[in-house]
Amino acid sequence: MRRSSCEYTSCYCEENVYLLCKQLCQPPLSQSVEKAWAIWISNENKTVAVWRQGGGGRAYDEEGLAVWDYHVICAVKYQDRSPVIYDLDTTLPFPSPLQAYIRRAFRPQASIRSSFRPRFRVVEARQYLENFSSDRSHMLKAGGGGEFVAKPPSYPCILRASGENNVMKFADMCDLTMPGVVVDLPSLVSALR
């Protein structure tokens, strides 16, 4: 899959990955996909360091360091291959081999303050498609003027029948009622089996 074949809206990674998971779960792509996951990245402080970011024309340091409140990527295991990562905001190859992505985006060997260390909610793609719901209210500017922090996608909101917005529940690594398993960086590789 090429980056150009993916729907992309800057600052709406959760929806970008939802649409990517949808593509991966339908023919013809589903025929070569063994497993796919949406991976939410955050921590208790909502300050997670991710390197090699550059999407959306945003300004980053020379190494592409971004401190996100949360970020969402997609992992895919194609038949008879190791998992790869699809990150629509990275400057790394698209897709990137899992180990290379971890090494360059999270720098596990570096000394990083605990307040910037990532935790991951790993959700099977089909489960993500069944449960994700966003009215985009988390992207409204404070003050009640109805303006968005970043321009929203042109397509309608992705809402379940209940109309519930569960974006921040997915990002909450302490909320164990949400789908998926929450792991730390050393456990991420084993979660993608």
Out of 11, 21, 71, 89, the active site residue is 71
Q: Is 92 helix (H, G, I), strand (E, B) or coil?
A: coil
Catalytic pick among 11, 21, 74, 87: 87
Portion of the chain with pLDDT greater than 90, in percent: 89
Would the pLDDT of 59 be above 60?
A: no
Name the residue ranges covered by the structural domains of the chain.
Answer: 3-175
Distance CA 101, CA 146 (A): 37
Confidence of residue 141 (pLDDT cuts 50, 70, 90): very high
**What is this structure's pTM?**
0.95
87 is catalytic: yes
Q: Confidence class of residue 144 from pLDDT cuts 50, 70 and 90?
A: confident
User: pLDDT per residue over 29-45, tens digit each?
Assistant: 999 999 999 999 999 99
CATH 3.40.50.720 correct for 3-175: no
Whether the CB-CB separation of 137 and 35 falls below 8 Å is answered with no
Is 135 known to be catalytic?
A: no
Does the annotation mark 138 as catalytic? no
